[in-house]
Amino acid sequence: MKIIVAHYKFYFQGGPERYLFKFMDLARQNGAEVIPFSVNYPTNEETEYGRFFVGDENAGGNYDAGNRNLSYLAKGVWHEFHNREAYRKMKALIREIKPDLLYVLIPGQLTPDIFRAAKEEGVPVIHRISDFRLICGKYNMMREGEICRECMSGDYRPMIRHRCVKGSGALSALRAASCAYHRARRTYDAVDAVITPPEFTKKLLVESGFFPEDKVYVNPTFIDCTEIQPHYESEDYVLCLGRFSEEKGFGYAVEAMGLLKELPVTLAITGTEESCDPALMARIEELGIREKIRFAGFRKGKALEDLIANAMCVACPAVWYENLPNVILESYAYGKPVIASDLGSLSDAVEDGKSGILFEPRNSSQIAQAIRTLYENPEKRMEMGRYARELCEKKYAPQAHWQRFLEIARRIGVTE
């Protein structure tokens, strides 16, 4: 099978790129030929197909309304709607390699024109959607610290009113116009199948009316845990992984520690005290729990592995919908139960009482009770950790992901 994998970046930056390169490796391991298609960046990985990439090395930069160069502005605005070069080069690539399938992650500056190019050449299209960009200008469906669904049904005017895109009226108007244009023109109808990592995102996209239910499939992100040694024993700390940001809800885990002063349990947060949100630091001081909070610094490699492996559990107190975060799969791989908000994809990923404990979003008392339950019941904690590891080995295994992908491809007429 020959697969073109299209994404607007061909270098590692975050979660989407991590998935991009992992999927390409997985496909090759299963005998597929994988051909990348992207935008020209100077930081791109080397590939013989770079000659088909779009634009010069500056074309892929994030659109900046502060750049007053008229040519730059015109190109940035136009690429919210169409990219004729991407359309032409996609056609040229298809005609040269004759692929069986186009698999698109985030089109970005490539625009849905690449879907149309593939369809005109008779190539089936699968689009993986791992955020909420089609129904929200901020991608995370949050505004002023609360979940916002105002634009979900297709009226994007609230996006302009609230200046949702980087606080800019101009950028918000541009994004709203782009979303409305693509929805009205039905440019995504050229997609044969949509894949979402969690069930929740599928439900949201169908509820929004953007895609019919029979076109949307679920295929969770994967992790190879065969080289990860589970560690069911633990030290007395709860771990919050990730950057300091409002939607992560770390503040509620901090407040929970204020309710557990009598327990020898601490909260470890990746990051430094200096980089911590000032409001969060103020709350720590107000509660008088500085000794209960451990700033673990920015970890990677063996240091990060040890931090996860020795944790009692991993906490995901998010206040937004999330989209099957990698931190849950990593925790499961190490045999760690996850305590998480009963919200969005977290409700799908954490099996309450089996692989972890769910709690009401923003409820510090319930977070504290979850931590207490795991601390006071080490056998139950380890049982949850073993179940989590089994989930990782079965549901989230690379081969399980690949087989689900193949089944979706078969359903739209792709043969191996």
Strands (E), 113-259: 125-128, 142-143, 146-147, 193-196, 216-218, 237-240
Contacts of 9 (CB under 8 A, 6+ apart): 16, 17, 20, 38, 39, 41, 44, 60, 108
- Distance CA(346)–CA(361), nearest Å, equals 11
- Distance CA(322)–CA(198), nearest Å, equals 10
DSSP letters for 65-76: TT---HHHHHHH
User: Residue 150: what residue type?
Assistant: E
Strands (E), 233-318: 237-240, 266-270, 293-297, 313-316
- Distance CA(298)–CA(280), nearest Å, equals 18
Q: Label residue 264 exposed, middle or buried (CB < 10 Å: 0-12, 13-18, 19+).
A: exposed
Can you give the pLDDT at residue 243?
75
Q: Label residue 267 exposed, middle or buried (CB < 10 Å: 0-12, 13-18, 19+).
A: buried
Please, what are the averages of pLDDT over each run of 10 residues along the chain (416 residues)? 96 91 97 97 94 73 47 66 95 97 95 97 97 89 91 93 91 92 94 96 94 96 93 94 83 95 94 83 91 88 92 95 90 97 95 97 97 96 97 96 98 88
- Distance CA(149)–CA(135), nearest Å, equals 8
- Strands 142-143 and 146-147, bridge-based pairing: antiparallel
Contacts of 138 (CB under 8 A, 6+ apart): 164, 165
Query: Mapping DSSP to helix (H, G, I), strand (E, B) and coil, where does residue 207 land?
Result: helix
Can you give the pLDDT at residue 76?
65
- pTM equals 0.91
Q: How many CA within 13 A on the CB side of residue 67?
A: 14
- In order of their start, the domains of the chain are 2-222+397-411 (3.40.50.2000), 237-394 (3.40.50.2000)
**Nearest 5°: CA angle at 344, between 142 and 109?**
55
- Could you tell me which of 238, 225, 398, 223 has the C-alpha nearest to residue 326? 223
User: Residue 237: what residue type?
Assistant: Y
Strands (E), 71-130: 101-104, 125-128
- Distance CA(315)–CA(322), nearest Å, equals 14
Cα dist from 22 to 3, 8, 12, whole Å: 14, 16, 11
Can you give the pLDDT at residue 181?
93
Instruction: Find the Cα–Cα–Cα–Cα dihedral 194, 344, 138, 362, rounded to 10°.
Output: -170
Can you give the pLDDT at residue 65?
46
- H-helix or E-strand spanning residue 356: strand 356-359
Can you give the pLDDT at residue 64?
45
Can you give the pLDDT at residue 58?
52
Can you give the pLDDT at residue 315?
96
Cβ 324 vs Cβ 19: under 8 Å? no
Specify the length of the chain in residues.
Answer: 416
